[in-house]
Amino acid sequence: MRILAAAALLASLSCSPGRSPEPNRALQGAAAPEAQPRAKARGSVPEAAPVPSEPITNNQEPITPPPSPPPPSPPPQPITNNQEPTTSHVPGVACVALQPLGPVPQEYIDAAAAGLRELYGFEVRILEPVDLPESAWYEPRQRWRAEKLNDFLRDRVPEGCDRIAGLTTQDISTTKGDLEDWGILGLADMPGTAAVLSTFRCRRKVHDVSPVERFRRVAVHEVGHTLGLPHCPTYGCFLEDAGGKAETIDRETFLCDVCRERLGWVE
């Protein structure tokens, strides 16, 4: 009986309310289970890891390669002696070469070129100076024979040119009628290729027209002969005969209609 009563008492004590059962002694000191990672919310996007930027050396801006350049265009053709493009008024003749014979002041060269360009519309090509040929020297009068200078010039017409005019500061001469040696301003083939003109007599008895302007008119006159124009009776025409006087050139200011018609003038 006593044994049964003690067992009943022990059972009642172990089931009394308000007391928690003792933890299993065998589990004390065991490692706690690892925490499981939290589940991510549905639809959330994982954060991307930051990408480190490349350093810019020497504090320079990033360099973008330039686009390829377009192919170069062909260079324009140069205009000889910096002149404007011209259109010849004389059929069959487009270019005249000016050949300095010895040193010639640039203002005279420019004046001759301007006269031919402005009146006839010719392209003018200025050549490098050359010495006067010894074959043209006339010892008795100590000057140069113009017809022999033209002989020298005919073989010097450059490719692309139709006429050549020699320019000199020296006194030139030729035979005129009964005069074996006659001093002149210029001489030309008529018609033909070559002409020669001198500044020497343009400097004599200067009044209203400068020597340079006289020389310009002589260039127009002599090259006109190479085109087939004879001396003209029209007063003041560029082809009027000087008659041995430089002053006659001072009144020559135009090319008359008769001379233009002879050339087949094209506007």
Q: pLDDT tens across 101-114, in order?
A: 999 999 999 999 99
- Out of 63-72, 113-122, 147-156, 251-260, pick the least confident: 63-72
- Structural domains of the chain ordered from first start: 81-263 (3.40.390.10)
Among 189, 128, 120, smallest CA distance to 156 is for 128
- B/e letters for 21-58, b = 16+ CB within 10 Å, e = fewer, are eeeeeeeeeeeeeeeeeeeeeeeeeeeeeeeeeeeeee
pLDDT tier for residue 116 given thresholds of 50, 70 and 90: very high
Rounded average pLDDT over 215-225 = 97
Listed ranges 80-94, 138-152, 229-243; the one with the highest mean pLDDT: 138-152
3-class SS letters over 137-189: EEHHHCEEEHHHHHHHHHCCCCCCCCEEEEEECCCEEEEECCEEEEEECEEEC
Rounded average pLDDT over 220-229 = 98
By the 10 Å C-beta count (0-12 exposed, 13-18 middle, 19+ buried), 224 is classed as buried
* pLDDT tens column, 7-58: 444 444 444 444 444 444 443 444 444 444 444 444 444 455 555 555 544 4
- Rounded Cα–Cα distance for residues 143 and 171 (Å): 6
pLDDT tier for residue 243 given thresholds of 50, 70 and 90: confident
**Is pTM beyond 0.85 here?**
no
**Chain length of the chain:** 267
* pLDDT tens column, 178-205: 999 999 999 999 999 999 999 999 988 8
pLDDT tier for residue 131 given thresholds of 50, 70 and 90: very high
**Phi and psi (nearest 5°) for 181?**
-140, 105
